[in-house]
Amino acid sequence: MKDYKKYIGSILGDIVSDMNVNEITAMVEVPSDEKMGDFAFPCFKLARVLRKAPNLIASDIAEKLSNEGIFEKVEAVNAYVNMFIDRGQLANELIKEVRDTGSDFGNSDVGQHKPVIVEYSAPNIAKPFHIGHIRSTVIGNALYKIMAAIGYDVIRINHLGDYGTQFGKMIVAYRKWGNKEDVEREPIKTLLSYYTRFHQESEKDPSLEDEARATFTKLEHGEEDETRLWQWFRDESLKEFNRVYDMLGITFDSYNGESFYSDKMARFIKELEEKKVMEPSMGANIVNMEDVGLGVALITKNDGSTLYITRDIAAAVYRKETYDFYKNIYVVASQQNLHFAQLKEILNRLGYEWYDDIVHVPFGLVSLEEGTMSTREGRVVFLEDVLTKSVEKTKEIIKEKNPNGENLDEIAAQVGIGAIVFQELSNNRIKDYTFSWDKVLNFDGETGPYVQYTHARCASLIRKGFNLETIKDFDESMLGEISTEYLKSDSAYALVKLLYNMPQVVLEAAGKYEPSVITRHIINIAQAFNRFYHEEKIITENEAEARAKLALAFATEKVLSKGLDLLGIKAPERM
């Protein structure tokens, strides 16, 4: 498809030889008021170059542009040239492209198969997969799909939090108060209760903290009993996490988390020392980055144990050596901004010139209506409960609307989970937000179910229009020749323009690492389609007209299902 702005820029470049094409293209505007055309060109700047009144230049250019086939109308209004694209041509180009590419519409090859790592989710073992983790999981999954759609080879990593001093605490707590059956029945909730108890008891008896530290050191040295318990906590936790990933339809290429690097850190500790990046400080080792405003990072404690950032240094280099990434993207909360800034700076000081290919994609905090979440105090909402509750609620709504519908369970799962994911991706990711059951389960307005419903409406029109049982029986050749003169109304044209822009929108979302760009765009498409649907009869007596309008419904169906797919949401054919 044409990039209209560029195309117009090149035509203008031929007309106005006194300026260079790129400069001219940059001057082409999209007027905020559609009455002033699809594109406009202001002539003030040219007036200085050509030493001629801007309104005279505008009428001159307008006259020359009128001969170009891509416009329906070109007018000069004062110093502006207003251009109206030929509506039929645009619709034709769009429908042809969607017919040719199908579910690949919107894809491109700008990534040229360069390897990109997207790290997301990364929950902590033996701690709940709570509503706070949904953000990383869902944003990361969408970014993976978006980057893959524009041609990158994406490697999906779940950097599990399966290591660290908290495992010393967990093991101590389990030995003191634990019970095997309880853990097996309900691993995370049980382990969490031990962890909470540990913190309560250690306030009264601080020696517990020392015991936990000693236990973690044993784990670091690979002692059998500690390792066995740790492995068991990890296995049981993963079973629970995988239940959630299955519900969300999310998979990973690697689950190499923090523990994977436990035997890979020595090399870097040595390297940090040799390159004088690190310095001893009261028995510990630190990297001082005060000079660049990044504070001090602790690399090893005075008992020799390593830290979160030590493992991240090893992980970054391991990933470079294993995947030779073009970009290494971390989808992690904005609370860790300093951590990632320090990580990059340390890699820089070690002389790894790819340090700048590390991209931290931060997102805002989730809080509960009753306050911030706190694992220690046991104030958490479990993601699995949220998803299950949403599916149940959806089931009730669908049953009410359509008591005899088929596949109720499957559709309720797709819509209920889609609703949560969609709302998660609706706002700019950096914004903080408060989790609220009411908002999540409100299925009116600008929500996932609304977009899914519009998609199902398009599918239903196609089934009806071509007498099909299911949309899978649809073959786009049934559309035949399209008479685009029936797609020139304002509502049809507004829809065509939005659909046409989808590939640009996917690129924009990738460039900004911002899935909400797509979320907003498909809401706009759904609204534009529904306006078209309410203003015009689609399956009319006139067969050519019906086919043209069905072709537009077909394009809408394809683009909506593509958009939902890029967000990690299913697009059911019936609702």
Instruction: Tell me how far, at minimum, the Cβ of 242 lies from ligand ARG, in Å.
Output: 17
As a whole number of angstroms, the distance between CA 486 and CA 549 comes to: 7
Report long-range pairs for 197-201 (Cβ below 8 Å, ≥24 apart): 197/173, 198/169, 198/170, 198/172, 198/173, 199/376
Query: What six digits make up the tokens of 129?
Result: 């997969």
Site track 68-107 with ligand ARG (rule: CB under 6 A), x = hit: ----------------------------------------
Nearer Cβ to ligand ARG, position 161 or 448?
Answer: 161
- Under the binding rule (CB under 6 A), the answer on residue 503 touching ligand ARG is no
Identify the helix (H) or strand (E) that includes residue 360: strand 358-361
Residue 545 found at the interface with ligand ARG (CB under 6 A): no
Q: Which of 60, 226, 240, 312 binds ligand ARG (CB under 6 A)?
A: 312
Stretch of 4-12, 118-126, 413-421, 516-524 lying at the interface with ligand ARG (CB under 6 A)? 118-126
Residue 547 tokens, joined? 């086919």
Query: Distances in Å between the alpha carbon of 446 and those of 331, 429, 437, 517?
Result: 25, 17, 16, 14
Q: Which stretch binds ligand ARG (CB under 6 A): 18-26, 52-60, 117-125, 420-428?
A: 117-125
State the Cα–Cα distance between residues 139 and 93, nearest whole angstrom: 32
DSSP of 259-295? GGGTTSSHHHHHHHHHTT--EEETTEEEEE-GGGT--
Q: Rounded to 5 degrees, what are φ and ψ at 285?
A: -125, 135
- Among 79, 122, 358, 366, indicate the residue that binds ligand ARG (CB under 6 A): 122
133 is catalytic: yes
Tokens of 504: 């640009």
77 by DSSP, 3-state: which? Answer: strand
Least distance CB 7 / ligand ARG (angstroms): 44
Q: Least distance from C-beta 222 to ligand ARG, angstroms?
A: 22
Identify the active-site residue in 127, 145, 344, 360: 127
Tracing tokens 């050519």 back to the chain, one arrives at 544
The least distance separating ligand ARG from the CB of residue 162, rounded to whole angstroms, comes to 9
- State which residue, 86 or 312, has the beta carbon closest to ligand ARG: 312
The closest of 245, 242, 254, 257 to 157, measured between CA atoms, is 254
Q: Is 550 one of the binding residues for ligand ARG (CB under 6 A)?
A: no
Measured from the CB of residue 355, what is the shortest distance to ligand ARG in angstroms? 15
**236 counts as binding ligand ARG under rule CB under 6 A:** no
Distances (CA, A) of 309 to 37, 84, 337, 377: 54, 56, 13, 25
Position 357 contacts ligand ARG (CB under 6 A) = no
The verdict on whether 45 is a catalytic residue reads: no
DSSP 123: P
State which amino acid sits at residue 148.
A
The one segment of 102-110, 116-124, 261-269, 494-502 that binds ligand ARG by CB under 6 A? 116-124
User: 112 or 322, CB closer to ligand ARG?
Assistant: 322
Quick one: which of 436, 110, 207, 167 has its CA closest to 306?
A: 167
Q: Smallest distance from the beta carbon of 463 to ligand ARG, in angstroms?
A: 45
Active-site residue, 130 included: yes
Catalytic one of 130, 344, 521, 549: 130
Shortest CB 283 distance to ligand ARG, Å: 25
Sign of CA dihedral 409, 411, 413, 419: negative
Map residues 146-185 to x or -, x wherever contact with ligand ARG holds by CB under 6 A. Answer: -------------x-x------------------------
* Number of residues near ligand ARG (by CB under 6 A): 8
Query: CA-CA distance, 254 to 121, in Å (whole number)?
Result: 12
- The residue number whose beta carbon is nearest to ligand ARG equals 161
Count of C-beta atoms within a 10 Å radius of residue 445: 9
Please report whether residue 330 would count as binding ligand ARG according to CB under 6 A: yes
Catalytic residue among 2, 6, 52, 133: 133
CB neighbours of residue 181 within 10 Å: 8
Q: Assess 414 for contact with ligand ARG (CB under 6 A).
A: no
Q: Which is nearer to ligand ARG, 74 or 122 (CB)?
A: 122
Of 119-127, 210-218, 262-270, 411-419, the window that binds ligand ARG (rule: CB under 6 A) is 119-127
- Measured CA to CA, the distance from residue 528 to residue 560 in angstroms comes to 12
- 178 versus 187: smaller Cβ distance to ligand ARG: 187
Considering only 82, 92, 124, 390, the residue that binds ligand ARG (CB under 6 A) is: 124
Contact between 573 and ligand ARG per CB under 6 A = no
What is the rounded distance in angstroms from the CA atom of residue 447 to the CA atom of residue 197? 40
Site of interaction with ligand ARG (CB under 6 A): 119, 122, 124, 159, 161, 312, 330, 332
Among all residues, which ones are annotated catalytic? 127, 130, 133
